[in-house]
Structure 1
């Protein structure tokens, strides 16, 4: 993957020596492309094998239609939906799935376009929103939506835009879509001029009727409606999405609850007891999760996982 990024960056920078527009033209098809789907971890295979599977069709990033694989466990009357992040897949939530089903919830997850078992080669945030909207039509009001990373942002934007959920959980999530473009620039190492041209092309391609789509693709500029309970979980050593994004999300949603961990990183946190316990507490009670603090309080509880045993 690192070699692929290096070659892509070289191509974009070489084209930009002609003009920023050329550089942006080379970068554009790379932006929404997804790497080869990660395999299901062997620890998660049994849970995934027990899922009831179906396929739904959404418009897709190019609005021409694409199939999405949906997984369902449990038979409870209250539904919790799980939204994975970029380069992720539904199976990453396997541990949380088991815990939620044990608590009596119906649990629904999906592989976004170009991820896991779903079709396609490209995707963007609108696909997560479209999937959540369709799942709402099928299951009705959600007890909760839990989103990791890119899926967390998609969940926030979807609920702010009308998807009905009693509460929302984000973990390791960015606060707005503009961060993703900035990270893409950092990865490929192109100039600010190319970045500006890429933004213009991006808006023209995917949002041709809107002057500023970033105004609604943002958990800061378009927060949740007042009174919607929100739990924001993030690890201080996350190397993919900066820890400061959690404060931006929480700050835009007064009364939200924050939980910071240390040493779990960006993805390993999904299987950590601190995260699992906080989510279960949050979706089953009206109280703040154990070890968490209100975002408008003076402090946020930090959880440090124990060191592995030496054998």
Structure 2
């Protein structure tokens, strides 16, 4: 694909930009590990409709308890949070997670990160969670979802790795593919059409300025994360008032979710009910 894109970049950048857009609109399905499947098997499952998708919902614990809503990252799924469920149940939460549009066991068709953010917004409105835990680009979906619910007051947000700027993410893709600024402009226009936001404004600094205060925000990120640099977490922490940044070492972007280090942090930091 890279060779073809370089040719199209020179002769038909409009097509090159559209191809890249289509590629990032089709998340890859990652196979669940046995331990992730085991936790999902203990959940109550439900199918819901959203914009032509059939999405999978998973829940654990007493329905009358405060809700902990888990928001997975791009190309992630609900089972990724399997190690956290028992911690949340011990703290008397009703735990709710979804496979987002075109993710996990949900139905598959073209989507994008901003449609996932729209879905997250509906879940915040429906569940009124006391606690949200987000991973990776699920943090952006959570941020946008919170902004769509201006009257909602969140008690605690645990951020497990975070990007800072969507424009920087797009630039990293363009750099890897070796295509031109013209193709970048076309791709940016397609993204801005989806979001109704300038690409320059899709960053944690701009978004956090519009956010309602949250009682407790804890950001956990490893300096050895190969997907999202630790500097993204540092910049995000500076944008969220009273947030706490916890730095881990020698843990990857996905392994962090099942790490003993994160497990211990959450036991200490998540508020009891």
The alignment's TM-score, normalised by the length of structure 1, stands at: 0.79
Return 5+ residue gaps in structure 1 as ranges.
1-7, 60-64, 287-311
1:49 aligns with 2:75: no
Greater relative contact order, per chain length (Cα 8 Å cut-off, separation 6+): 2
Gaps (5+ residues) in structure 2?
A: none
* Aligned position for 1:111: 99
Alpha-carbon separation, structure 2, partners of 1:34 and 1:28: 12
8 A contact 2:57–2:99 mirrored in 1 = yes
1:66 paired to 2:53? yes
8 Å Cα contact 2:117-2:140 kept in structure 1: no
Alignment length, in residue pairs? Answer: 268
RMSD: 2.1
Deviation, 1:285, is 5.6
Could you tell me how far apart the structure 2 residues matched to 1:24 and 1:235 are? Answer: 33
Aligned to 1:221, what secondary structure does the other structure show?
helix
CA distance in 1, matches of 2:102, 2:245: 31
Change beyond 3 A, Cα 1:130–1:29: same
Matches within 5 A, 1:26-105: 26-35=19-28, 37-59=29-51, 65-75=52-62, 77-105=65-93
What's 1:170 paired with?
Answer: 159
| 1:252-301 deviation line (CA, Å, top 9, x unaligned) | 11210110101111010001122122223322269xxxxxxxxxxxxxxx
| 1:192 to 2:184 alignment | no
Correspondence 1:261-272 to 2 at 5 A: 261-272=248-259
- For 1:107 and 1:211, the matched residues in 2 are separated by 32
Report the equivalent of 1:155: 142
TM-score of the pair, normalised by structure 2: 0.90
- Partner deviation per Cα, 1:111-139 (whole Å, 9 max, x = no partner): 11111101123322223333333323432
**Structure 2: distance between partners of 1:169 and 1:178:** 24
Runs (4+) of structure 1 exceeding 4 A deviation are none
Q: Give, in angstroms, the shift of residue 227 of structure 1.
A: 4.4
Q: Distance in 2 between matches of 1:228 and 1:157?
A: 18
Determine which of 202, 205, 219 is the counterpart of 2:204: 219
